[in-house]
Amino acid sequence: MKISPDESALLARGGRPTLGDLLDRLKFSPTRGSITLNGARMLMTRATFGSDLRDQLVRRYGEHEAMILMLRLGYLSGREDAEFILQSWPELDPGDAFTAGTRLHMVTGTVRVETISNDFDFDADRFSGDFFWHDSVEAGEYHRRHGRALAPVCWVQTGYAAGYASPFFRKLVLFKETSCSAMGHKACRVVGKTVDDWGRDDPFVQLFLNEVLPTGGDMASAVRSGGRGAGRGDALDLDDLVIRPVRDRLDLVLRSGVPALVTGPAGAGCRAAARWLHRQRFRRGAFSIVHARSDELGERLTALRQQGAQGQSSEAYVAISAIEELPTERQWTLLNLISRDQGPPPQVIALSDMSPAQITGDGRLLPELAYALNVLPVALPPLSERAADLPELARVVLSSAPALRDAPRARLTEAATDRIARLDLPGNLPQLRTLLQRAALLATDPKAIDAPDIEAALAVDTARAPGRERTDPWILLAPAFANGTLTLDQLNETLVRGALEANGGNVAATARLLGLTRPQLAYRLRAATDKGTTAAGDPPR
């Protein structure tokens, strides 16, 4: 590769990886027909390819849809490059890793970047940047083909900048092209800020959030090594928001390598915590959770045991729901995987809606396994204990939910978020998601969900269903209390006796059924025995 003498001095400037570092790791193998940058396959194509793609998309789908697709492709490319830099230089200073995106842009021949200002603070999620793009390949090819543009045309590069920068923060970073050489300006100029600084009502912000960003698993990035897992942009970063109360504990679990026991009531975010742990350790790859009694888990444990024997477990994991229901033979297999001496153990993530204390005291898990899982338990709180987070959770849940057919994506008014902050949501996140989707369908203004729309959505749940009078427990029992033939103690004793008989006298099973601890149930049984009200027959076990 030939470099002019006056440019060679530039190769060592800036943070690492410098342009020289990148070029040193660029390899061309003529015999294999491959170009690699630190092992990652690269392509050298004519600059006209991007222009051909753009023109074909415009002809096929129109200019707006073409812009959306090109922005999205750029965003994905930028995000992948951020991951590539951090994996290739794992000891890199975060600031150097962040600014390396400009050097990658240059070494690939896309554009020459001149920094006007670049102010960032990862801990405070603060960013503002101003850059010149000289000799932009997008702008140059557009101008050559179509003449002077009427609007900025560097769609892929703008998306790339957002994709590269956003994973370093817990907020989405967006860039706007304020001038473009295709329009006759001397250079392209781009300004970058977080979505909060741009303002969520900004038209470009709305376009990016609602149309450009990939959804669901496509958004996972979380590239900051050993850091805060900045993830997928503020608008869709639901997992990061859900795990906020337990983030420090999850970081500690991740760094220590111990098994993760994640507990919490249904819908509180256990699955989100498991996904976050997997994403932080492996960066990419499909993630799934298997039930403790499923056939798939047996196959997964067998495969992990074989991988461990071959020394291939460093990239292995297993996430198990309802861990307390794990059959005994699988418990031994899992315990052996966790405690083996040779090679790193797989990442084990155990999920349960029981508390850590209940899991160790329940008796269904082997004591050795129960305590091995309980080194650093992570207990997610219900939404009833996160009232301050509800407005933000609601906005993120709404923005990440699938768009309703033939309807614009609605936003929450301030009055609606105030009402949501006062909600009681025993169903946690699933209930919140359903409520918001229902409110969007019932909203008077399809573009905005207001407080009355939230009330209308709540009314669907609170409306009395036909026939409830015949099944409501109080309606059935009220006459017996009124005439003195039934007392609360008698009702409790009847329920305990019925549950005990239904479980064949098994005290542990009866306690689980009634939501009691075994000591609590034993106390009730002793009290009933003292009163002479327990059923005759075999003593409970």
Q: Which two tokens stand for residue 455?
A: 């009330």
**pLDDT tens, 259-284?**
999 999 999 999 999 998 888 877 55
Pick the residue with more confidence: 179 or 102? 179
Give residue 404's pLDDT: 57
Give residue 10's pLDDT: 64
Rg (CA), the chain: 29
Q: Which residues pair with 351 in a beta bridge?
A: 262
Residue 130 has pLDDT above 90, yes or no: yes
Q: Tell me which residue has tokens 């050097």.
A: 103
**Biggest CA-to-CA distance, the chain:** 104
- Please state the rounded mean pLDDT for residues 207-228: 54
Ramachandran angles phi, psi of 425, nearest 5°: -125, 80
Residue 45 has pLDDT above 70, yes or no: yes
Contact of 19 with 107, CB cutoff 8 Å = yes
Give residue 225's pLDDT: 36
**pLDDT tens, 445-489?**
878 899 999 999 888 876 544 544 445 677 667 777 776 777 887
Nearest C-alpha neighbor of 166 from the set 193, 186, 141, 190:
193
Tell me the torsion sign for CA atoms 160, 161, 164, 168. negative
**pLDDT tens, 328-349?**
999 999 998 888 766 667 889 9
Residue 382 has pLDDT above 90, yes or no: yes
Contact of 47 with 141, CB cutoff 8 Å = yes
DSSP letters, 457-520, are HHHHHHSPPTTHHHH-HHHHHHHHHHTTS--HHHHHHHHHHHHHHHTTT-HHHHHHHHT--HHH
Pick the residue with more confidence: 7 or 79? 79
Amino acid sitting at position 200: R
Out of 106-110, 293-297, 379-383, the most confident range is 379-383
Give residue 380's pLDDT: 95
Confidence band (pLDDT; 50, 70, 90) for 532?
A: low
What is the C-alpha to C-alpha distance for residues 170 and 497, in angstroms, rounded to an integer? 53
What is the C-alpha to C-alpha distance for residues 463 and 365, in angstroms, rounded to an integer? 42
3-state secondary structure of 300: helix
Torsion of CA 417, 419, 421, 425, to 10 degrees: -120
DSSP letters, 118-167, are EEEETTTTEEEEEEEEES-HHHHHHHHHH-S-SS---HHHHHHHHHHHGG
Residue 324 has pLDDT above 60, yes or no: yes
Confidence band (pLDDT; 50, 70, 90) for 409?
A: low
Average model confidence (pLDDT) for the chain? 81
What is the C-alpha to C-alpha distance for residues 242 and 250, in angstroms, rounded to an integer? 12
Which domains, and CATH codes, for the chain? Answer: 11-219 (3.30.1380.20), 238-379 (3.40.50.300), 385-462 (1.10.8.60), 470-530 (1.10.10)
Q: Which two tokens stand for residue 230?
A: 């900045």
In what order do the strands lie in the sheet containing 112-121?
112-121, 126-134, 188-194, 173-179
What is the C-alpha to C-alpha distance for residues 328 and 332, in angstroms, rounded to an integer? 7
Give residue 408's pLDDT: 58
Pick the residue with more confidence: 225 or 474? 474
Residue 537 has pLDDT above 50, yes or no: no
Residue 232 has pLDDT above 50, yes or no: no
Q: Which two tokens stand for residue 288?
A: 């799934």
Q: Which residues contact 109 (CB under 8 A, 6 or more apart)?
A: 47, 137
- Please state the rounded mean pLDDT for residues 240-259: 90
